[in-house]
Amino acid sequence: MNARTKVKVKAVLSSILIAMYIGAIFLTVGEVMAMKHGSFLGMKGIEILRMKSKYGIVMLALIAIHLGLNWDMFKNEVKVLKS
């Protein structure tokens, strides 16, 4: 994979992660609202909780890929912290 393609892949992955982070916040707020009022957008709290658990697994996989793509940069950052 050449450098330009790798940067594009990282940008797409980062964009997806940001969108999913916003979705996770929305689901969390929805879960709180559903527990307080009985439902949120027609979904009961348990349905939102199930959705959140599947959503979390996808996010963990994307984060692992993100860390793998940025591992060299992360190692360099840790070296700076140690110095």
Whole-number pLDDT of residue 22: 92
Predicted TM-score of the model (pTM): 0.70
**pLDDT value at 66 more than 80:** yes
Which residue in 63, 27, 60 sits closest to 46, CA to CA? Answer: 27
Cross-strand partners of 40: 43
Whole-number pLDDT of residue 57: 92
Tell me the per-residue pLDDT of 20-65, one tens digit each, with 9 for 90 and over: 989 889 888 888 888 888 888 888 888 888 888 888 899 999 999 9
